[in-house]
Every structure is written in C-alpha cells, then in structure tokens.
Structure 1
Amino acid sequence: MRAIVGLAASALVAVAAVKAFSHRPMPPMPPTRLAIESMQFDTIARSQAGLVIGGELGSLLYSGDQGKDWTVAKVQPERQALITQTAFAADGLRGLSVGHEGWILRTQDGGKTWKEVAFDEKNGEPFMGATYMGEQHWMVVGAFGRALRSDDDGQTWQPMVLPDAVADMHLNRVVGSADRQHWLIVGEAGLVLRSDDQGETWTQEEPFYNGSFYDALALPQGGWLVYGMRGHAFVQHDGGPWRQSEIPGPVSFYGHALLPDGRILLVGQGGVVATSTDGGLHFSFDRLPGRASLTDIALDDQGAGWITSTAGLLPYHLPQGAGAASSTAGSQ
C-alpha cells in the first residue's frame, strides 16, 4: 500500500513539474501609457503631425486629433533629460526640441520621430529656447550665455558671438518678428539682446528691470512684449522706451498665446491666465483649478486648445469676444 501511495505521489510531482515548465500563453499586458494628466510638460507646439508636447524624462508626444489621443514619439536615443522647448519651421515638418544636458533633437516629420544631434551629460548646460530663423537657419540659447546657430537645418552647430557682458548670464528664450529680420534674446537680470540683421550681430538694451525675463512676443502691429518674474511685463514700440504693463499681481509668467483678434494670453504660476486686449499694456486675471504652474499654451483660432503645466496637460477654452479670460480646465 505504501508503495502505491509513493508511486502516486511521485506521479503527481512529475505532472506538476511538467506543467510548471511547459509553454503557456501569457495574459495580455496592459498597454504602456504615460500619465499626461499628471506629468510635467514645458512646451507645446503645432506641426504637420498636429500638436506636439515635451517635458519630464525626455518625453515627447504628438496628437493628430486636437489632443483627444496622444502617441509617444520615437526618440533616438532615449534620455531622461527635461525637454524645455520645441519649435518648428514654417513647413511644419522640420523641428527642434532642446533640453537639459545640452540636448538637441531634430525631426523631419512634424515630431513623430526625433534624432539626437547634441548631448553632453557631464558638461552640457541646459538649453532653454530654440527658434527657426528661415531657410536652413536655427538658433538655440541656454544657461551661462550659451548660444548656438545652425546653418544646415540643425545638423551641426557653431557658437554665436554675443556681447561679452552676457557670457555668464542665463538666456531663456529667443524670438523673432514675423518677417524674421528682427530678433530678441531675453534672460536673467533683465537681459534683452536685440538683433536687426537676422541674428548676425547683437546689442544689449539698456537695463530697465533687474528680474528675469522668461519669454517675449513680437506684437502684430510692430514692437515687442517681454515678460517674466513677479508679474513684470514691458511693451516697446518703434524702438522707443519700454513701458511697464499693468498686471494685477506678482505672478511669474512662462508662456503666451496670441489670438487673431489681437488678444494676448500669458500663463504662469498658480494656475493664472492673464489676458490683454490692448496690446499688452493692461492684463486681467483668471485662475484655473489647482495651483500648478502653467508653462505654455497653444490655441486654435476659436480660442480652444491646451495648456502645459507642472501637473499635467490641461484643456482650455476662451470664448470669443470675452474681455477677460474665461476657461474650463481639468485633466483628460
């Protein structure tokens, strides 16, 4: 009897072993999904592929249906460096993304695939801004006065010659006029550099504010709006003096949108959206739910679109004709 029980037990063990090591189909894995409703995104741009966003962990995504669905772009090689800005050429196909550790990525299909052209993990200072200058010319700027220019569509880069006084200053953005003849670089300590010869030579504006500027905008009727820390923004027309904008509170602003009717929107700290109907001279406030810092904004001609933030991607809508910002925002 004991022999029979022993044989039975051995048989059960053998069957269990065979079953344990035999091929079995794996259950389907859930699809990989980035939590765009909670990740930090710093930049949003439009291209032939649709909308393109970039942010933490080197993430770049695109949407061909106005933000309903998002696809993770192919990045070669993948890095963990923060993406700070994405910019596209006039054709909507060629583009650059820049970020920390001297990272520069290049696309030729509107942001669906990206290839690295520069990266320096040990000594690479962050790049904070990128812009298309026309034809095959591009420019990127960043920390400690770093500014590079490419004349072969972003494939190779050379240092730009800037005034000696800005060698150690952080450069946050470079922006151009509609005709690409006139350019501004803005940065820390109220830095404003101007070029009136398509970026060939640069001169420093006389200081008029001692805080950082984070971005700038070429105004439709000519002139410039620069903005940044603690609710400070300034407007200049026809090379005249810089006039300070009237803003209700000390909110730092990081991104903007310009609507066809001339309204200007600034987005910034604490979920604040500031709106101007007079070319940037006066702004009114609206506040989105939550306290996230809003980093960039992209709207269509009807005032609908998306805002990137430190706490995810937010849908936004601004009714036409409203003097002050009115919005609906939340996760999607």
Structure 2
Amino acid sequence: MNNNNNEGFDGSRRRLLLVGMGLGLQALLAPTMASTVAAFASAAMPGPLREPATMTPRAARGVLTRVVLAGDRLVAVGERGLVVLSDDGGRQWRQARVPVSVTLTSVSFADARQGWIAGHSGVVLHTSDGGESWSIQTDGVALAKASLAQALGLPDTNADRDRSIQDAQRLVDDGADKPLLSICFADARRGMVVGAFGLAARTDDGGKTWTPCRNRLPNPMSLHLYAVAHHDKTWVVAGEQGVMMLSRDDGASFESLAAPSERTLFAATATRKGGFVFAGLLGAACRIDPGSTTVTAIELSAPLTILSCAELRDGRVMLLAQGGRVLASRDDGAHFAEQQLPRREPLTSLVEAADGGLVATSMGGVARLG
C-alpha cells in the first residue's frame, strides 16, 4: 500500500486524521467524504495564519483539544486559535491573545514559563511568559521550504536524493496545508513535533530553528503521526496503522517497533519510571517497559477509542476514551480498570491540576471534574 491509494482509503485516512486532531467522537463518526474534505481544506486556508484569534467571553466554552499544566497554571488550546488560562485549578478561565486562528492541536511546557503549541497549517507557537502572549516560530510554508533545502543538500551519491527532492517539492506545492498533531519538549531547548503524512521536525534551540527530521524516521509510507513523547534521551513516535518508532540517542536516529496490531495509535505518554504507554483506535493499547524495546499489548475491558493519555502525580496512568470514559492503571500501564467520573461527556483531554483536581477539555469547553 502506498500514498497513491484510492479515494475510499484516502477518505478513511482523513477521517482518522480529524480524530487525532482532538475532534473526538463527532469526528470518529465522520460524516460524509465531502464534509470531511471541506473541514480539512478549510483548516489549511492561508487566512487563519494571518488573522489573530477572536477575543470572546465564551472562549472557555469553545471546542478545546488539549489542556496541560504550566507550573501551577492550566493552559488549554483548541479551535480557531483559542488559548485559555486558569490560575485557580480550572474554576475560572481567561483568554490569551494568539496571532493565528488555526485549530491548535497540542501543547507542551518545559517549565512554568516556556511553552509551545502545534496546530494546523504547520504552525508552532511559543510563549516565554506562561501563556500570556504567543508568537509564531514556524508554519507549514517554512517547514516545507526547509525540507526542500535539506533534500537539495543531499549528495548526488545518495540513493534517496531524487525521491527526497520530489517529496519535499510536493510539500512546497501544497502550501501551508500541513496539520501538526503532537508536540513535546524535553526541556527549554529540545523539542519535537509530528503530524499528518509523516511530518516531523526537531529543535535544539527552543524553537528558534526547526529542522525537518522525517528522514530519520522509519516511515516509508508517510503515515500520519499522532503522538510523540520522551523520557530523558528516549523518544517515541506513534501513529496511523500502528506505526511505532523509538530513539535512544536523543532523536538522532529512530528504529521501527513491532506494534501488537495495525490499529491507529492516537496517544502516548511516558511514565516516571521511564516506560511508555500508547493507545488509540478501538481498544488498541500497548506499552514499553523501562529500558526495553519490546512492545507488549495491553488488554482493555472494551474496544474503546482512546483520544489521550497522561500520568498523574501519584503514578496512575489515565486513558481518556470516547464518550468521556476514563481508564486508570496503578501498575505503569500493565492493567487498566474503568474509573467513574461525576459526569460523562465527549472529552478530548485530561490533566491533574496543581491542587489534585481533574480538569478536562471537551467539544463544549473546559471544566473541572472534581
């Protein structure tokens, strides 16, 4: 199978792509091919890259895709460039000013002040004041040009040079249409971002420069990459059709891992002991033990589609499934049991606030669950 697949397969890939963008069950049941393609195309229009997010008193009730901690502050991101902040554990929220109005899909903070957001149109945003203000570090056009320059710089003796140039030229021709789906920073300098059709880039200077690194990833089919996570100098990437890869040299090189199934993986998290947990479509779940490269399947109680996962301060690993169902593990992801929440709604991500309460994003905003 290759990237010149028929329309049916392409439509299926686009629907999976929308799920991974944090659009939850509504996208999983994706509508028609026409509406899916229209939604995908509208996200890539150049206008949202030039237009700042609209300030609105209902920002915390918009479609939000991810929430994380930045020190004691909560930062949530979502559609149309929405970024909202809470300094009281998720009880009250205020909107931050953002220079773009594209959908924002992932956010990572290295400490209380330094943070990054990834989103549609290949955009990466940066803050140095805990999310109060944001600036653009790169976008889909810049990443494509960097990819082409990298390919043109390969020696004539490189067997992959012509193919690399052709692939990079296609990225340039596509314009800004490059959804980034997951971003992760190890510290204030080292970070990695991945996205649709195998997109990947790294930085070692806090995002001042982003270097395409898809050539380091064993992903010849350019499958969508939905998740990137790290522990110390170990990095993992996972995505469409169960593609998994791991680096033990701080991202200099990656090796392919054998996933238990070909079901798409939407989420990955590192555990404090150095292991990793992955989960995704229709009960797909697996883990890597600390120091190992062996992938072990995790048996879930039901074939739930997992949209995000996270480790809490007490060591529990939480999987957030479609429909607002949450599974918890107390043994580093070896076994999971369902945990009841006060209410069930289509949640997109979950985080533990500084005071120990759980805060979640959803199709209807962000809320404290307890």
Which TM-score band (shorter chain)? Answer: 0.7 to 0.9
Separation (CA, whole Å) in 2 of partners of 1:247 and 1:207: 16
1:133-177 deviation per Cα after TM superposition (whole angstroms, max 9, x unaligned): 335222111011110112221122111132353451111111001
Task: Give the conservation status (yes or no) of the 8 Å contact 1:172–1:214.
Answer: yes
TM-score, with normalisation over the residues of structure 1? 0.78
Give the aligned residue type for 2:233: Q
* TM-fit CA distance, 1:301: 6.4
**Which of 221, 245, 256 lines up with 2:273 in the alignment?**
221
- Which one has the bigger strand percentage? 1
Change (3 A) 1:209 1:150: same
Give the aligned residue type for 2:189: Q
**Which of 203, 207, 219 lines up with 1:165 in the alignment?**
219
Establish whether residue 88 from structure 1 lines up as the match of residue 109 from structure 2: yes
- Which residue matches 1:176? 230
Establish whether residue 144 from structure 1 lines up as the match of residue 197 from structure 2: yes
Establish whether residue 41 from structure 1 lines up as the match of residue 64 from structure 2: yes
Give the aligned residue type for 1:54: V
Change (3 A) 1:137 1:301: closer
Give the aligned residue type for 1:103: V
Give the aligned residue type for 2:369: Y
Q: Which has the higher contact order (CA 8 A, sep 6+)?
A: 2
- Which residue matches 1:210? 262
- Which one has the bigger helix percentage? 2
- Which residue matches 1:78? 100
* TM-fit CA distance, 1:302: 5.9
Secondary structure (helix, strand or coil) at the match of 1:52 reads strand
Separation (CA, whole Å) in 2 of partners of 1:210 and 1:313: 32
Change (3 A) 1:106 1:261: closer
* TM-fit CA distance, 1:203: 1.0
Count of residue pairs brought into register by the alignment: 281
Secondary structure (helix, strand or coil) at the match of 1:270 reads helix
* TM-fit CA distance, 1:53: 0.3
* TM-fit CA distance, 1:49: 7.0
RMSD over aligned Cα, in angstroms? 2.2
Task: Give the conservation status (yes or no) of the 8 Å contact 1:136–1:152.
Answer: yes
Give the aligned residue type for 2:334: L
Unaligned runs of 5+ in 2: 1-54, 142-174
Separation (CA, whole Å) in 1 of partners of 2:80 and 2:188: 31
For 1:214-293, what aligned pairs fall within 5 Å after superposition? 214-237=266-289, 238-239=291-292, 241-286=294-339, 288=341, 292-293=345-346
1:97-152 deviation per Cα after TM superposition (whole angstroms, max 9, x unaligned): 11111111111101110011223484331001111133522211101111011222
* TM-fit CA distance, 1:288: 4.6
1:249-273 deviation per Cα after TM superposition (whole angstroms, max 9, x unaligned): 1111122232333222111201101
Change (3 A) 1:316 1:289: closer
For 1:305-316, what aligned pairs fall within 5 Å after superposition? 305-316=358-369
Secondary structure (helix, strand or coil) at the match of 1:113 reads coil
Task: Give the conservation status (yes or no) of the 8 Å contact 1:95–1:106.
Answer: yes
Separation (CA, whole Å) in 2 of partners of 1:163 and 1:48: 32
- Which residue matches 1:69? 92
For the pair shown, which has the larger CA radius of gyration, 1 or 2?
A: 1
Secondary structure (helix, strand or coil) at the match of 2:282 reads helix
Separation (CA, whole Å) in 1 of partners of 2:193 and 2:96: 22
Give the aligned residue type for 1:202: F
Task: Give the conservation status (yes or no) of the 8 Å contact 2:266–2:306.
Answer: yes
Separation (CA, whole Å) in 1 of partners of 2:226 and 2:273: 24
- Which residue matches 1:97? 117
Secondary structure (helix, strand or coil) at the match of 2:124 reads strand
Separation (CA, whole Å) in 2 of partners of 1:222 and 1:158: 26
Separation (CA, whole Å) in 1 of partners of 2:259 and 2:309: 23
Establish whether residue 113 from structure 1 lines up as the match of residue 133 from structure 2: yes
Give the aligned residue type for 1:78: V
Separation (CA, whole Å) in 1 of partners of 2:56 and 2:313: 38
What percent identity do the matched residue pairs reach?
31
Comparing 158-167 and 44-53, the one that deviates more? 158-167
- Which residue matches 2:245? 193
Separation (CA, whole Å) in 1 of partners of 2:319 and 2:337: 10
Unaligned runs of 5+ in 1: 1-30, 318-332
* TM-fit CA distance, 1:248: 1.2
